[in-house]
Amino acid sequence: MHNLALRGALLCAAAAAPSMPAIAADAVAAADGPRDYLPSAILVTGQRVDGYAIDDGSTGTKTPTPLIDVPQTIDTITEDQLEDQAITQLGDALRYVPGVSLDTGEGHRDQVYIRGQASTADFYLDGIRDDAQYYRPLYDISRIEVLKGANALIFGRGGGGGVVNRVSKVADPARSMLGANASIDTFGAWTLSTDVNQPLGNGVAARINAAYEDFANDRDFVTGHFWGVSPTVTADFGSDTRLTLHYTHDENTRVTDRGNPSLGGEPLTGFDTTFFGSPDFNTSHTTADIARARIEHEFSSSLSANATVVYADYDLYYANVVPQGTDGTDVTLAGYTSGTKRQNLIGQANLVWTGETGAIGHILLAGVEAGRQDTDALHTGITFAGGATSVTIPLASVLAVPAVTVGAVDRSTFSRLETVSAYLQDQIAIGEHFQLIAGVRYDEFSLDSDNRLAAEQLSRKDRTWSPRFGVVVKPRQSLSLYASYATSFLPQSGDQFTRLDATTASLEPEKFENLEAGVKWAVNPSLLATAAAFRLDRSNTRAADPLNPGFTVLTGASRVNGFELSLAGKLAENWQANIGYTYLDGEIRSDTSSAAAGTRLQQVPRHQASAWTRYDLNERFGLGGGVIFQDKQFASISNAVTLPSWVRFDAAAYLHLREGVSLQLNVENLLGAHYYPSAHGDNNIQPGDPRSVKIGLRFDM
């Protein structure tokens, strides 16, 4: 039945393709009066936005909605800011988003905590799920959006604390462009990238982005390289229909660095450059191929539709020796290898109508989504010389790690996940000052898991309803006050869905509920200030059954209360800034299988703040600077190891040499702070990089 539903949804998307596009801004204005901040496309457009502010909130609603009218916190990092900071990897960019903290991701993937909720899967590309475990580059990305709080109506399962969406660059039929960038830093890491756009006539254009990066830092033996290429084509069929095609091929090979162990409840100090692994064995390799097609059509000024089909193929492997702990004299090491092959096929179609019923304006969204995900995973142990699966050796600046070989296979699984979803949402305008948003999503979730070693086949099926409600009051067009409620769910099989056991196959999904109230103020068309208070409850968490030892019940729960402030955009004619602060208070409220009530949630700093700014002194010369503050936090749910609070300062300088040619200098950790920004448990703690200087040359023609 799921196969039939999947095929049907994909066929519906394909059938709708010849007749689907962007909704006109004036159509929405007719339903809700003039709107100064209204984007012109149904979803994110991928066109470059000058400066650090953006007014497009469409990712949060799947409709053309100004950011000021979305009852949800959304932080954006634009392409201009990414270039000013010389950032090429997603994790580095997210350090500048308060409310987001980074996990080390076992040295081979992006892993984040958003509002205290950990995830390796809540990543999206142009609004479509991109959930494999790998490091995501930014060479073909026009901006990053962090949408905070549960919102399954838009994104489906997961996303308990929020999601991270990357918006791709698209081909532009209206202009030719040639861009290139080269940079090198004091550790010897270097980057080359290019961005070429060419109109081909008759509303057709092609664009290609490509990049090569060579990795290096202060950590012993930690090297690697990345290369990627991403061509895209845009074709306009008249004024009402647009087809966009994307293909991305990325390859990343690097040493798997699991960080350092702890000692005495804190990170081990004095060994920040020491590699706690085997340089010859610790390696990771990722290949990601993602093909996607999107078609948009405008039937009239009030009715439009779009359809997207994505096929993604991921091949992931990593091998690692891992620090298990130290007594200050010796260190214990163990390890494993892990390989994953995954194929995703996802189809999504949306219909958007804008109009009026009497004096009430509407933006009505109706959508369907279907997907299939096949995951083949293999896990092995390792052995050291002599056959031991772990080894204890003297602690030294360069460890004498015995030879390592791959051990026996200890896990081999195949899983197939099939999902079918439908959703309906209405944005209602009552007069000029009052808006409602209400909707619901229905998901059918089917997971089949084959444990090859145990010859065990298990499955689970979930059917869930996820509502969303919001109220927006607008005393004037540039000011909105809002309150919202939204939910999300996560089946009891981890966010990667690689395998099931007898327990996870039988339990109801975890549930996330987000209550939020806030204010958004467009100080001017290029500067947006926001503030929000929220409460995020997580329930249906697994816990031991006190009445039946050995059994599991869904009585565990946690809560995060928080407050956020942000200011992004143009402070003055030549002055851009992105400033944010978040307060988080998260703890377990009822016993879970991993911790007792009262335990503070892991990697949730109570206070986080960041600021990045650029000021152009004249047309040729500009200066930039940034600061990140992160309060102390626990490395894991054990609350046994604390990562100390830290502050890091960055700086930059920009010089326009001639038309289209500029020189850029970036200094990370300007004052040489000694800090530990992330962890993956109590004994995989990542030291922060010391001061580094990067110089870059950019061409734009």
- Assign 24 a pLDDT band (cuts: 50, 70, 90): very low
Cβ-in-10-Å burial (0-12, 13-18, 19+) of 244 comes to buried
Write out pLDDT tens, residues 505-550. Answer: 999 999 999 999 999 999 999 999 999 999 999 999 998 877 777 7
Q: How much is the pLDDT for 4?
A: 35
- Residue at 176: amino acid letter: S
pLDDT of residue 544: 86
| Mean pLDDT lowest among 4-13, 162-171, 407-416, 550-559 | 4-13
Residue 700 has pLDDT above 70, yes or no: yes
d(CA 468, CA 157): 14
Over residues 104-117, the pLDDT tens digits come to 999 999 999 999 99
CA dihedral in degrees (51, 57, 58, 64; nearest 10)?
Answer: -90
Percent of the chain with pLDDT over 90: 89
Helix ranges (DSSP H) in 510-667: none
Helix H or strand E segment including 299: none
pLDDT at residue 378 in the model: 97
pLDDT at 6 over 70: no
Reading the block at residue 107, the tokens are 């040295």
With residue 274 as reference, give the H or E element that holds it.
none
Task: Give the pLDDT confidence score for residue 554 in this predicted structure.
Answer: 87
Residue 222: its H or E element: none
pLDDT at 30: 34
Tell me the pLDDT tens digit for each residue of 391-419. 999 999 999 999 999 999 999 999 999 99
Host H or E run for residue 77: strand 74-78
Mean pLDDT of 422-439: 97
pTM here? 0.93
- The encoded tokens of residue 604 equal 């949730």
Digit-coded pLDDT (tens) for 37-57:
233 443 445 566 689 999 999
DSSP 124: E
Q: State residue 551's pLDDT score.
A: 73
Spatial CB neighbours of 256, under 8 Å, sequence gap ≥ 6: 106, 107, 108, 277, 282, 283, 284, 318, 319, 320
Helix segments in 113-176, DSSP class H: 152-155
Beta strands in 525-645 (DSSP E): 527-544, 552-572, 575-590, 607-616, 621-630, 633-634, 642-643
Residue 489: both structure tokens together: 């769910």
Quick check: 20 pLDDT over 70? no
Is pLDDT of 694 > 50? yes
CB 425 within 8 A of CB 365: yes
* pLDDT of residue 627 exceeding 90: yes
Residues with Cβ < 8 Å from 698, sequence gap 6 or more?
83, 179, 180, 181, 661, 662, 663, 664
CA-based max dimension of the chain:
81
Question: What tokens does 151 get?
Answer: 């919102």
DSSP state of 68: G
3-state secondary structure of 253: strand
Q: Cα–Cα distance between 208 and 249 in angstroms, integer? A: 12
Please report the pLDDT score of residue 5 as a whole number: 39
Beta bridge partners of 483: 471, 517
Q: Where are the beta strands (DSSP E) in 103-222?
A: 112-114, 117-119, 123-125, 128-129, 141-148, 162-168, 177-185, 190-201, 204-216
**Nearest residue to 309 (alpha-carbon basis) of 352, 343, 351, 348:** 348
Lowest mean pLDDT among 171-175, 281-285, 334-338, 544-548: 544-548
6 or 560, greater pLDDT: 560
Mean pLDDT for the stretch of residues 612-621:
97
Can you give the pLDDT at residue 382? 97
H or E stretch at 31: helix 25-32
- pLDDT reported for residue 50: 81
d(CA 421, CA 436): 23
| Dist. CA 424–CA 37, nearest whole Å | 24
Mean pLDDT of 485-513: 93
Tokens of 427: 């944005």
Structural domains in the chain, sorted by start:
2-323+347-396+413-700 (2.40.170.20)
Residue 634's beta-bridge partner residues?
642
CA 701 to mean position of chain CA atoms? 31
